[in-house]
Amino acid sequence: MSEPREMSEEKKYYLTQARALVENIEQGNDSEVNSLIESISKFHESTLFQEVGKLTRQLHETLNNFHVDSRVEALTKNEIPDAKERLNYVIKMTEDSANRTLNAVENGLPIAEELKEKSNVLNKKWRRFRQREMPVEEFRELSNEIDNYLSWSVIQSEKVRENFSHILMAQDFQDLTGQVIRRVINLVQEMEGNLIDLVRISGQRMKKEPLEENNGSDSKADGPRIPGCDSHKDRLSSQDDVDELLSSLGF
Amino acid sequence: MNKDMKILIVDDFSTMRRIIKNLMRDLGFNNTSEADDGKTALPILQAGDFDFLITDWNMPGMTGLDLIKAVRADPRLSKIPVLMVTAEAKREQIVEAAQAGVNGYVVKPFTAATLKEKIDKIFERLETK
């Protein structure tokens, strides 16, 4: 009988034991048969234990390494709670902007309507005057009305302009929340990478690839101020603080 | 202050560029151009005689800080007044921007009044020099 060329020690052992077992069964050597079966199963169990032991040690070590990886620690300790704050900030910013816009529209619309109404009334009277259908006394009255309307409309159209300006400024949320969301996307991508790594570790058979370094596109820039964010403790809280710092630098 | 001066507005968010452009128009400045990061802004600056640069900090490609450094290093551009309008508000960042040569620094979110005040201040200072 030809043996496979590359046979492990384990298989060689099983093969010799199996041949001895067949021989002894054929010869009716019961006690020898029993002891052979026992030794085979003991050998099988011990290799199984060794294998499980090896796996457990690897898992333990990699999990330990996983814990001391400062990047992972920073992720779980600071950045995930930070991400929550950041997303809450996005909700707040978009809500504020929507309210600012709606307030400006609600303030501006009645003014626009009043402008239209008063212009309409004056327009009709003016036409009657142009068609010489207006008595002199009424014209004196009209002349006063036009006077009042003109000074009134200067003030009201300025109010309309102000409300448009509020609507314009309320759109700044898109830039600020966009920056925040980009950062949270980066964080989620990094978490995903780490989780894939963890799955690889527990899968054990797959080759571990080095963790991708991902600290965002620009580590120096860290986006809008977010109240309650731990990583934002050293930020100046207002334009006044910024001005003060700059003037201390000779600005 | 010359109301016809040529202004370049640099920000990666088009909404913010539009806000600044409209605020500038409100202040009487109509001659504005736009770029979406430092990399596209630099050749525009080099090609045209701009009088004023307003830039964000955090942009892909080339940041506003690097743009300011490049502008200050270019003898044809080095004198352009620069206003930084950014959400970055860390002490060391402001110091860094000052060292790079900004003329003013506005933190987002800002008001129309703040922007006007900083621009007035920059040009007042330039005129007294």
pLDDT in tens, A30-57: 888 999 899 888 888 887 888 788 777 7
Q: What does the mean pLDDT of chain A come to?
A: 83
The separation between CA B20 and the C-alpha centre of its own chain, rounded to angstroms, equals 10
* Separation of alpha carbons B83 and B104, rounded Å: 5
Q: Among residues A98, A88, A71, which one has the least CA distance to residue A224?
A: A88
Residue type, A18: A
pLDDT in tens, B25-76: 989 999 999 999 999 999 999 998 999 999 999 999 999 999 999 999 999 9
Contact indicator for A114, A156 with CB cutoff of 8 Å: yes
Facing A175 at nearest CB: one of B13, B60, B111: B13
Residue-level pLDDT at A251:
75
pLDDT in tens, A115-138: 999 999 999 999 999 999 999 999
Determine whether the interchain pair A236/B90 forms a contact, defined as Cβ–Cβ distance below 8 Å: yes
Determine whether the interchain pair B94/A178 forms a contact, defined as Cβ–Cβ distance below 8 Å: no
Distance from CA of B53 to the nearest CA of A (A): 18
Determine whether the interchain pair A246/B98 forms a contact, defined as Cβ–Cβ distance below 8 Å: yes
Residue-level pLDDT at A103:
94
Tell me which of A3-12, A207-216, B13-22 is least confident: A207-216
Question: Looking at A100-149, which runs of residues are DSSP E strands?
Answer: none
Distance from CA of B49 to the nearest CA of A (A): 26
Q: Among residues A71, A42, A63, which one has the least CA distance to residue A199?
A: A63
Distance from CA of A74 to the nearest CA of B (A): 20
Determine whether the interchain pair A178/B13 forms a contact, defined as Cβ–Cβ distance below 8 Å: yes
- Whether the per-residue pLDDT at A8 is higher than 70: the answer is yes
- Mean per-residue pLDDT for B98-109? 95
Facing B112 at nearest CB: one of A165, A218, A238: A165
Name the β-bridge partners of B10.
B35, B55
Q: What does the mean pLDDT of chain B come to?
A: 94
Contact indicator for B104, A243 with CB cutoff of 8 Å: no
pLDDT in tens, A190-212: 888 877 777 776 665 555 445 44
Residue-level pLDDT at B129:
72
Spell out the residues 6+ positions from residue A234 whose beta carbon is closer than 8 angstroms to its own: B90, B91
Contacts of A220 in chain B (CB under 8 A): 63, 65, 93
Contacts of A168 in chain B (CB under 8 A): 19, 22-23
Helix ranges (DSSP H) in chain B: 14-26, 38-47, 64-73, 91-100, 112-128
Residues 22-81 of B with CB under 8 A from A: 22-23, 26, 57-58, 60, 63, 65
Contact indicator for B56, B64 with CB cutoff of 8 Å: yes
Question: Looking at A27-171, which runs of residues are DSSP E strands?
Answer: none
Q: Does the CB of B13 have a partner CB in chain A at under 8 Å? A: yes
A226: Cα within 13 Å, side-chain hemisphere: 28
Contacts of A178 in chain B (CB under 8 A): 13
Facing A224 at nearest CB: one of B19, B104, B108: B108
- Whether the per-residue pLDDT at A23 is higher than 60: the answer is yes
